[in-house]
Amino acid sequence: MGDFAQNGFVTTLHNFGTKSVEQFEEELKTFSGYRPMELILPSLYSELEGPALKHIVDQLSQVDYISHVIIGLDKADKEQFLHASHFFSKLNKPFSLLWNDGPRLRAIHDELEDMQLAPTELGKGRNVWYCIGLAHARGKAEAVALHDCDITTYDRSLLARLFYPIANPNFQFEFCKGYYARVADGKMNGRVSRLLVKPLLLAMEKVLGPSDYINFMKSFRYPLAGEFSFRRSLIPELRIPSDWGLEVGILSEMQRNQASNRICQVDIADTYDHKHQDLSIDDRSKGLSRMSVDISKVIIRKLAAQGYCFGPETIRTIKATYYRQALDMVSFHQADAALNGLTYDMHKEEEAIELFAENIMRAGQDYNYSPMETPFIPSWARVLSAVPDIGYRLRRAVEADNQKLKTAA
């Protein structure tokens, strides 16, 4: 059973273990008449070959309150696209499959790229951007949720709890962030959140002084969770980072555009585990090393946009303050792990901190070297202003691809 503490910035919705998934789903079925719901699943084709997504699809097939599922499929050829259609037919509900590598969507992407309106990097951010663009173009959902496709501990209660705050017409929330304890296989996971984001925010607060943005980000129990839900009306103005700073970037957008009483976080799982990224000490372009740079840059840019200066001396001070703060966190986590009978490798934890400290410096240097870099994909409001019929053409392209699948079947 979770606690009942509130942080005073955004509403925290706990799991007291007093309501069954069947009760949630019965209410959500009623809510769907007021606020139709769509689910977005950004997926690599390779995830269709693993056990996690098969189990997710099996769980989703038992859900009857979702009207539609949007699946963004990356790194798939024609035969794999056909197989994906058969794979997701087991959802037992209407779905749209975005073949991001297919000729129709590639043509749209190339057109937007020529106008400098397209995502500049491959990856989850690009996939999510096209998926929310389709949700907006369809114009049928009022509540939209998104979660990853590599969750090995997935249960349909996760989705019910994620949708509930946005789908309930008696609630005022417009954005909801999922959270959970990252504990699995007898150890603590979530190194980037525990050992980078939290101590970095504390360090920046010490060096830069009080900040509404830092207080907002600190209020989230798991800021890097890939699960969130939102009103479809937020899509046009939403700016999504094109790199691995997606989750932090979206939270930053919420802090900028939404009143705090419209934002909440909800406990969605007792246990949560997914595919783990390597620390990637030897290759800074991959794994948690790349992620730590991208996340640090998102936070630096956000604070710079609010008037804070990040010259070389400031970056060095933040790095030093972070390093001390993060080492203190190690002792906190070590005690917590011991109390709960978990294994805890202090050497690997401090090895990660050393890497993250170097990458904070790297992120600061990158920012100072290229302060005019545009980190966000253009909002759909801007894209639709430049190309008014692009939403319609995106929807027709996806429909044509999916119709071709039905014909092939």
Residue with tokens 């604070």: 303
Tokens, residue 33: 């008449």
Cβ atoms of 147 and 158 within 8 Å: the answer is yes
Up-side HSE of residue 324: CA atoms within 13 Å toward CB? 9
Residue with tokens 């640090």: 296
Confidence class for position 284, pLDDT limits 50, 70, 90:
low
Confidence class for position 367, pLDDT limits 50, 70, 90:
confident
Q: What is the pLDDT of residues 204-240, one digit of tens each?
A: 999 999 999 999 999 999 999 999 999 999 999 998 8
In DSSP notation, 370-409 reads -TT---EEPPHHHHHHHSTTHHHHHHHHHHHHHHHHHHH-
* Predicted pLDDT at 2: 62
Q: Which amino acid is at 217?
A: M
Expressed in angstroms, the distance from the first to the final Cα of the chain is 47
* Predicted pLDDT at 293: 92
Indicate the range of 82-91, 155-164, 254-263, 283-292 predicted with least confidence.
Answer: 283-292
Q: How far apart are CA 72 and CA 59, in angstroms?
A: 19
Q: What is the pLDDT of residues 119-151, one digit of tens each?
A: 988 888 999 999 999 999 999 999 999 999 999
Q: How far apart are CA 282 and CA 186, in angstroms?
A: 27
Helices (H), 209-345: 212-218, 246-257, 287-305, 312-339
* Predicted pLDDT at 283: 65
Q: What is the pLDDT of residues 289-345, one digit of tens each?
A: 888 999 999 999 999 988 999 999 999 999 999 999 999 999 999 999 999 999 999
Give the mean model confidence (pLDDT) for residues 34-52.
Answer: 96
Tokens, residue 349: 């934890």
Q: How far apart are CA 130 and CA 105, in angstroms?
A: 9
Give the mean model confidence (pLDDT) for residues 353-373.
Answer: 88
Q: What secondary structure letter does DSSP report for 274?
A: B
Instruction: Kindly compute the dihedral angle of the four CA atoms of residues 314, 192, 164, 175, in this order, to the nearest 10 degrees.
Output: 20
Residue 409 has pLDDT above 60, yes or no: no
pTM: 0.94
In DSSP notation, 51-62 reads HHHHHHHHHHTT
Give the mean model confidence (pLDDT) for residues 381-403.
Answer: 96
Q: How far apart are CA 204 and CA 326, in angstroms?
A: 12
**Domains in the chain with CATH codes:** 11-408 (3.90.550.10)
Q: How far apart are CA 2 and CA 176, in angstroms?
A: 18
Pick the residue with more confidence: 58 or 408? 58
